[in-house]
Amino acid sequence: QVHLQESGPGLVKPSQTLSLTCTVSGGSISSAGYYWSWIRQHPGKGLEWIGYSYYSGSTYYNPSLNSRVTVSVDTSKNQFSLKLNSLTAADTAVYYCARCSGSLHAFDIWGQGTVVTVSS
Amino acid sequence: QSVLTQPPSASGTPGQRVTISCSGTSSNIGSNTVNWYQVLPGTAPKLLIYRNNERPSGVPDRFSGSKSGTSASLAISGLQSEDEADYYCAAWDDSLNVHWVFGGGTKLTVL
């Protein structure tokens, strides 16, 4: 049973860079056919896909965030990470890591989510 | 403003059948499959339906999905109190700026 767990700071200052890590347990991040993803939910709003990375390093990002976001995979640690720079209060959200299955064409496993507040 | 449109709320009594709609465009629902997710309070989102109408192992057959044109629906029959949750639809969008898009979510209340 694959399990995902987010970790990172809960409070970040405006203009700084958010760094979150998702640890994958119960399976290998190098397994073929999966895209390792970040998704967020602003307070009281719907879900927003941020981007994902294949274990090989190929990345795909939401065009609205493309210039500020980096998703990367560390196969040696079985982790993947999110970096989002130039933060503003509008980036305050619950951030989820998730696995996107190529065969199901769906996000089939999700982490519990971590609350990130951008405030000085 | 979410790309896919869902009603903000829905409700039903135990045992009833409820449906939740999801409306999109030709570049997302119209040309790609739809997924549905259930978010119970304080828990991780759970994949409920994939490829329009397929259920992952462990999801009761009370949950079913359908798609027609640029719209999709999630139906829950034999409504139970534990079905009270937020439900989101999602689809890949083939527009110039390709990416995954979600609905704004529907809060289901079991009366």
Instruction: Kindly list the residues from chain A whose CB atom is less than 8 angstroms away from the CB atom of residue B47.
Output: 104, 106-109
pLDDT band at B96 (very low <50, low <70, confident <90, very high): low
| Chain B residues 37-76 with CB within 8 Å of chain A | 37, 43-47, 50-51, 54, 56
Q: Read off the pLDDT of residues A87-97 as tens digits, 9 standing for 90 and up.
A: 999 999 999 99
Q: Helix (H, G, I), strand (E, B), or coil: what is residue A51?
A: strand
As a whole number of Å, the end-to-end CA separation of chain A is 39
Instruction: Kindly list the residues from chain B whose CB atom is less than 8 angstroms away from the CB atom of residue A103.
Output: none
Nearest residue on chain B to A42, alpha-carbon basis: B104
Token code pair at residue B95: 């527009």
Q: Read off the pLDDT of residues A28-57 as tens digits, 9 standing for 90 and up.
A: 999 999 999 999 999 988 899 999 998 888
The string of DSSP letters for A57-110 reads S-EEE-TTTTTTEEEEEETTTTEEEEEE-S--GGG-EEEEEEEEETTTTEEEEE
Decide: B41 and B99 in contact? Cβ < 8 Å.
no
Q: Read off the pLDDT of residues B58-90 as tens digits, 9 standing for 90 and up.
A: 999 999 999 999 999 999 999 999 999 999 999
